[in-house]
A and B are shown apart, each in its own frame.
Chain A
């Protein structure tokens, strides 16, 4: 059945994104990996929407696109503001708060 195939793709994209957030040092690449996780969620939402004969999942994908755009705009603005204070983009070098 096709629904399971779409769900597997969504799960794999989500797992890849989560792994990337955990293992990469570069904050911009971590934001890209969050986008990858959102893509996995979008595939799952659209697949369920299609096979349940319901439009709610497609509508949620539209909102997910909106939230992703807002999230990237704010996240990258924070990175730009941060780079003026600390000229590094690797998250493990931003350790002023660790004891």
Chain B
């Protein structure tokens, strides 16, 4: 994508809005306001992905982050009930160390970013814009890379998601060991009721 005037203006707007919303997230006293600021950051980073010519990533970003992750945050805030928290102190007592370290990290990152040299032709990869448009677009090019070179990590990601889902259910489940200890007959009855189902399943599998 050419670095024309429209792209430059859009980039500056998206960059300033994303960083500004990120700063708002830090200084908001109410955790719900922090979550809303995170949504603003996510939408503007999605805009940056569009400028970079990655439309699929922008849509996935909005669907996964704004649609799933932030909603999960808001649900947890609702479950833990933090209505009385905004009156309390919101910063950790190590703030005197955290702020200088953060500023140092920001300066370091900006210096390294500004000092990044122009990318020479010799180190460029195998997907120049001509190849991408020949494949049919950025999403198709992403799919070609994802399902050829990165098939194994892709399958690993599905295993990770399954493990995380099961782990989250097990962790957040209410533990009811006391009730089972009080009523041992009920636990025996449920296990004997489940037992006949297994041979049937095995027979149908054969």
Which A residues form the contact surface with B (CB < 8 A)?
A: 1-20, 22-26, 28-29, 31-33, 35-36, 39, 42-43, 46-47, 49-56, 58-59, 61-63, 65-74, 76-81, 83-84, 89-92
Contact = CB atoms under 8 A, between A and B. Distances in A.
A53 B124 contact: yes
> Which of A13, A18, A79 counts the most chain B CB atoms within 10 A?
A13
Given A23-B94, A47-B52, 12 more contacts: A4-B114, A6-B11, A7-B113, A16-B26, A19-B105, A23-B26, A26-B82, A28-B31, A46-B54, A50-B53, A52-B119, A73-B165
B106 A70 contact: no
Contact of B123 (A23, A52, A55, A68): A52
B112 interface: yes
Interface of B: 1, 3, 7-8, 11, 15, 18-19, 22-23, 25-26, 31, 34-35, 38, 41-42, 45, 48-49, 52-54, 57, 60-61, 64-65, 68-69, 72-73, 76-77, 79-80, 82, 85, 88-95, 97-99, 101-103, 105-106, 108-110, 112-114, 116, 118-119, 123-129, 138, 141-142, 144-146, 149-150, 153, 157, 160-161, 163-165, 167-169, 171-172, 174
Contact of A74 (B11, B60, B171): B171
22 contacts: A1-B3, A3-B116, A4-B116, A9-B19, A12-B19, A13-B18, A15-B103, A23-B91, A23-B102, A25-B89, A28-B31, A28-B76, A35-B38, A36-B22, A36-B41, A56-B145, A56-B149, A63-B157, A66-B161, A69-B161, A73-B165, A89-B82
B153 A11 contact: no
Given A8-B114, A58-B142, A77 B57 contact: no
A89 B31 CA distance: 11
Nearest to B112: A11
Contact of A19 (B98, B145, B160): B98
A23 to B, nearest CB: 4
B75 to A, nearest CB: 8
Majority secondary structure, B binding face: helix
A50 to B, nearest CB: 4
Contact of A23 (B57, B98, B113, B114): B98
A78 B48 CA distance: 33
B92 A92 contact: yes
A9 B8 CA distance: 14
Contacts of A52: 119, 123-125
B92 A55 contact: no
Contact of A39 (B42, B85, B118): B42
Nearest to A54: B125
B45 A43 contact: yes
A83 B79 CA distance: 10
A36 B24 CA distance: 12
Contacts of A32: 25, 31, 34-35, 38, 73
